[in-house]
Amino acid sequence: MTRTVWDSSVGKKTAMAVSGLIMLMYLVVHMFGNLKIFFGSGDFNHYAHWLRTLGEPFLHYEWALWIIRVVLVVAVVAHATAAYQLSRRDIRARPNKYVHKKPRSSYATRTMRWGGIILGLFIVWHILDLTTGTAHPGGFQPGHPYQNVIDTFSTWYGDVIYIVAMLALGLHIRHGFWSAAQTLGAGNRTRDRALKTIADVLALVLTAGFISVPVGVMTGLVS
């Protein structure tokens, strides 16, 4: 039964919608957590430590964080796999290029695939930079995320990678939220305008919120 649902286009679109909303909820929380950097190293480092003690004493140290990571990995894999398979199915269904060369979809829609690739590569870099420290530009300091963030955004390439990825994220959310709402049956003629407005606001707020961190470091507001 599960395989039958997954093999259908509707099943893949539903998996994309649900996994996308899971990641969106995480991004909202993650953005608010990132903004704590503007309150100083004490608040930001304390927040990072709190994430590791979340759920204690019922859960052991870092268990809640690892549960969140596992859920996110499953969501990312499901989202990417469904997107790739739907893309291949679409190509097989229409092997020839469209007769009309003039694009009829929004810029966000046309860049969803490339945006997904950019975000996938960014996630790998972000983990290697600020989680494992493997690709960190300075001397990575476990337990000192405030200084690690400043190290990353004190480099021009760290700023460029992050800002480009966040702009791609904004476009992805703008189209993806509305598309997920349609897939899950929330959209109709009376609600489409409201859903598009929500998608625009979410994309704008998340993009601005995330980009404010490297901008804060570059301008010296965070130091």
pLDDT along the chain (223 residues), means of 10: 77 92 96 96 95 93 95 95 85 61 55 87 95 91 94 96 96 90 81 88 97 96 92
Which pLDDT score, from 0 to 100, does residue 220 have? 94
**Closest alpha carbon to 85 in 10, 137, 9, 33:** 9
Tokens for 59, please give them.
């859960």
Q: Exposed (0-12), middle (13-18) or buried (19+): which is 109, by Cβ within 10 Å?
A: middle
**Closest alpha carbon to 145 in 70, 33, 55:** 33
**Closest alpha carbon to 173 in 196, 155, 154, 189:** 196
Which pLDDT score, from 0 to 100, does residue 15 have? 92
Q: How far is CA 153 from CA 146, 157, 215, 222, in A?
A: 11, 8, 8, 10
DSSP assignment letter at 38:
G
Is residue 158 a contact partner of residue 214, using CB atoms and an 8 Å limit?
yes
Q: State the pTM of this model.
A: 0.88
Which pLDDT score, from 0 to 100, does residue 193 have? 86
Which pLDDT score, from 0 to 100, does residue 54 have? 94
Which pLDDT score, from 0 to 100, does residue 6 have? 77
